[in-house]
Each structure stands twice: as C-alpha cells, then as structure tokens.
Amino acid sequence: MSVQTLYTAATGMQALETKLDVIANNMANINTTGFKKDRANFEDLFYRQYKLPGSIDADGNITSTGVEVGLGTRVSSTQTNHTQGALSTTDNPLDLAIEGDGFFQVSTSNGEFYSRAGNFGVNANGQLVLGSAHTGWILNPPITIPEDAIDVVVSAEGEVQYRTTGQVALQTAGQIQLATFINPDGLLKLGDNLYQETSASGVANLANPGQPGFGVVAQGALEASNVEPVQELIDLITTQRAFELNSQVVQAGDQIMQIAATLRRG
C-alpha cells in the first residue's frame, strides 16, 4: 500500500504552517510604523506520470489526456505588499512620512540601509536619526539641527529648515533624499524597520522628494502599517481550515493502510 497520501498531505500542512507564520507576523506588526505586509505564495510539486498525455492507444489514436498524480505543494516565495499605509498625524515636527514611492536612507558603520519609518529624533550631536533604542541609524545625507533651534520646518520636497531664538528668517539645515528600487520585493528585510539592497532589488536610485517617480514628505505624520486586520483574519480562518483538511487526509490515509494491512484471504 502506497504511503504517498501521507507525504502529500504533510507537504500541504508544512506549507500552510509557513503561511500561518506569515499571517502571524503581519498581525504582530499591525501597529509597526511603515510596516509592509507579506504574502505567502505556493506552487505544486513534481508529478508522478503513470501515462503521458498524447499516448497512442491500441487502435493507434492519440489520447487527449494522461494519468498523473501530484506529490504535494510548497511555498514558492513570500512577497511584500508595498502599497501606501494610512498617515497618522502626530504634530511632532521630526516625524516624517513618505506619500508615494521611496525609502529614507540611513547609515551606520555597517553600510547603507533603507526604511519607510520616519520617526526621527536627534542624537547628542544634533544629527537626525531614526528613533531606535538599539542602534543610532543616522539619516543620509546627514542633517544637523542646532541645539538652539526652536522651530523645524520640512517641506514636501524634503528641504529641512530651522529658526533660532531672535531670528525670523529660516536657515537651511540640509536636504532629505529618497531612494527607490526597480524591484522593491528584492530588498532584504533586516528587522528594525530596515531593508538592505541586494542584487535582486537593483541599486538604489536617489533623488529629492517630489521628483518624477518619487513620493513627497509629510511633516508631523507617520505612515501606519498597511496590514488589513479583517483580511488577515479571513486568511487566518481559511488557513486553519485548510490545515485541518490536510490532517484529515493523513488520518484517512492511515486508516486505509490499516485496513489493507489487516486483510485476510478467504
């Protein structure tokens, strides 16, 4: 008696477990600034060919189909949905959101990284950095806000200006640049709201906000996660049901094998 039924159903359970992990990560990051949800994609596995399509029958005719049995499924990839998240107003002048395409570029001694999160602050040197308690991710190109600045203004085109005590005119601190990629799905996710360039993503294209193909900057706002709770809940339920069905297939295959093993000749 073939045990292929057990193995085939097991591949389905394993693939669905991965999908469940993806859903769980989406739900866990429902409040993560700038988070982009993932989707698990599936593909069928190799087929066992008992009779090939187009075979010649006993009368010399070509058959219209064959006999083939698939051996299961697997996760082919996980893709990131880079659609725009809703903007949440914070009124914090150092909170910046990107409306449209693009990533903020930040740097450390380990290289350049990219992020949609715009919860910036200033470090001890007055440099704009991502608000992280783990690493001092410095905005690149670097922008320094003087200690005596009382007003910070960021235009939609990314120009950062400030005003000091006793001055009316704004002074320019620097220019924010955004990065885009020909294939953002190819970016490597590092955690900490960061992405890293890879050979699959292509090299970063840098330009000022508002240029063709680049988004604009909204000051005093943050981009929310683009996770849709209702859709994730629906996916969760369907994944759970599909997992249960595959487990029932395993049980049915096991029961059939037990019956076959206990047969007695009359």
Assess whether 92 and 212 both reside in one domain: yes
Assess whether 120 and 199 both reside in one domain: yes
Q: In the chain, pLDDT over 90 holds for what percent of residues?
A: 68
The whole-number pLDDT of residue 1 equals 47
The average pLDDT across 214-229 equals: 96
Span 13-64, pLDDT tens digits:
999 999 999 999 999 999 999 999 999 999 999 888 888 888 887 788 888 8
Residue 232 tokens read as: 């994730």
Assess whether 152 and 202 both reside in one domain: yes
Q: How far apart are CA 159 and CA 171, in angstroms?
A: 10
Assess whether 43 and 60 both reside in one domain: yes
* pTM score of the predicted model: 0.87
Q: How many domains are there within the chain?
A: 2
Span 168-200, pLDDT tens digits:
888 999 999 999 999 999 999 998 899 999 999
Please tell me whether residue 233 adopts helix, strand or coil conformation: helix
The whole-number pLDDT of residue 34 equals 94
Assess whether 50 and 122 both reside in one domain: no
Assess whether 76 and 101 both reside in one domain: no
Query: Within a domain: residue 114?
Result: yes
pLDDT at 209 over 90: yes
218 within 8 A of 212, measured Cβ to Cβ: no
The per-residue pLDDT of the chain, averaged, comes to 91
Query: Within a domain: residue 74?
Result: yes
Structural domain of residue 124, as residue ranges?
87-223
Assess whether 77 and 97 both reside in one domain: no
The average pLDDT across 128-136 equals: 78
Query: Within a domain: residue 33?
Result: yes
The whole-number pLDDT of residue 134 equals 65
Q: How confident is the model at residue 226 (pLDDT cuts 50, 70, 90)?
A: very high
142 within 8 A of 129, measured Cβ to Cβ: no
The whole-number pLDDT of residue 168 equals 80
The whole-number pLDDT of residue 259 equals 80
Assess whether 105 and 148 both reside in one domain: yes
Query: Within a domain: residue 219?
Result: yes
Span 69-115, pLDDT tens digits:
889 999 999 999 999 999 999 989 999 999 999 999 998 778 899 99
Assess whether 255 and 200 both reside in one domain: no
Query: Within a domain: residue 34?
Result: yes
Sequence-distant (≥ 6) Cβ neighbours of residue 15 within 8 angstroms:
40, 42, 73, 74, 75
Assess whether 170 and 247 both reside in one domain: no
> Shortest CA distance to 105 belongs to which of 77, 140, 81?
140
Residue 249 tokens read as: 């297939």
Query: Within a domain: residue 236?
Result: no
Assess whether 93 and 78 both reside in one domain: no
Q: In the chain, pLDDT over 70 holds for what percent of residues?
A: 97
The whole-number pLDDT of residue 2 equals 66
Assess whether 155 and 109 both reside in one domain: yes
Query: Within a domain: residue 235?
Result: no
